[in-house]
């Protein structure tokens, strides 16, 4: 009878109970070293049985491989960021060196295309008098209102935006629109920079905008020289 009761008690023990006991009794395997050496587990690389030590080594190898992959991802991300920083530096210097209105437009627009492999770029600046160039032509009040409403660059699908028509005739599936302001504190805009792509996933609503914010700040600072001087209050 006693052996039956003992068996019933063992049957009531769950794997979680055993795991909890072993976790909270670190001296168990010190007292039962031969049991530790005799434990056999299934290899993750086949059906053969391996010792606990071998299984632990396999687990450590997998962890090391995972860490190596993460490290390589970090290295690639660092290299990508270094490349972006270099291209941003070159583009900024070219924009600052522009010594005419035509050169300024070319360095902003063509520079973005060439340095960052952007398929389509369009620029419009308004309220600039005395120039008939298309990118300085008047724009609708709707465009001005939309640009001024942007607190961060818009990124997403092309939902038939009027500004998307400034781009070339190639299909534009996604775009980014960057407002241009005299200063970061200003509410009203004096221009809009539009980046377009035939790839619907190039510009997405949940993407980070730090790079686009920097582009907008640099372009705004450079293009603000075209605006009429402010009248002192």
Cβ neighbourhood burial of 216 (10 Å; 0-12, 13-18, 19+): buried
Please give the Cα distance from 172 to 182 (Å, whole number).
Answer: 29
Q: Identify the residue with better confidence: 35 or 156.
A: 156
Residues in the chain: 233
β-bridge pairing 154-157 and 120-125:
unpaired
Please give the Cα distance from 150 to 15 (Å, whole number).
Answer: 58
| pLDDT tier, 114 (very low <50, low <70, confident <90, very high otherwise) | very high
Question: Among 29-43, 84-98, 116-130, whose mean pLDDT is lowest?
Answer: 29-43
Quick check: 51 pLDDT over 70?
Answer: no
3-state DSSP percent of the chain in helix, strand and coil, to 5: 55, 15, 35
The per-residue pLDDT for 55 is 67
> In the chain, what are the domain boundaries?
64-226
If DSSP codes are grouped into helix, strand and coil, which group holds residue 103?
helix
**3-state per-residue secondary structure call for 122-138:** EEEECCCCCCCCHHHCC
The per-residue pLDDT for 12 is 74
Q: Identify the residue with better confidence: 171 or 125.
A: 125
Quick check: 108 pLDDT over 70?
Answer: yes
User: What is the CATH class of 64-226?
Assistant: alpha beta
* Tens-digit pLDDT profile for residues 176-185: 999 999 988 8
Please give the Cα distance from 43 to 58 (Å, whole number).
Answer: 9
pTM summary value: 0.67
């Amino acid at each position: 009878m006693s052996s039956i009761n003992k068996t019933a008690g063992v049957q009531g023990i769950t794997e979680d109970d055993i795991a909890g006991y072993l976790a909270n009794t670190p001296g168990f395997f010190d007292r039962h070293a031969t049991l530790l050496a005799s434990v056999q587990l299934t290899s993750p690389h086949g059906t053969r049985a391996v010792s606990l030590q071998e299984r632990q080594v396999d687990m450590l190898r997998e962890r090391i491989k995972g860490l190596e992959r993460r490290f390589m991802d970090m290295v690639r991300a660092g290299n990508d960021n270094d490349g972006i920083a270099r291209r941003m530096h070159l583009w900024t210097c070219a924009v600052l060196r522009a010594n005419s209105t035509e050169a300024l437009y070319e360095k902003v627009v063509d520079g973005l295309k060439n340095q960052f492999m952007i398929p389509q770029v369009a620029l419009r600046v308004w309220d600039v008098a005395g120039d008939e160039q298309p990118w300085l032509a008047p724009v609708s009040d709707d465009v001005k209102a939309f640009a001024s409403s942007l607190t961060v660059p818009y990124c997403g699908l092309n939902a038939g935006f009027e500004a998307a028509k400034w781009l070339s005739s190639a299909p534009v599936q996604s775009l980014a629109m960057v407002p241009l302001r005299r200063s970061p504190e200003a509410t009203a805009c004096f221009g809009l920079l539009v980046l377009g792509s035939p790839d619907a996933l190039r510009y997405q609503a949940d993407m980070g905008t730090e790079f686009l914010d920097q582009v907008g700040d640099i372009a705004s600072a450079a293009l603000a020289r075209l605006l009429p001087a402010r009248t002192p209050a």
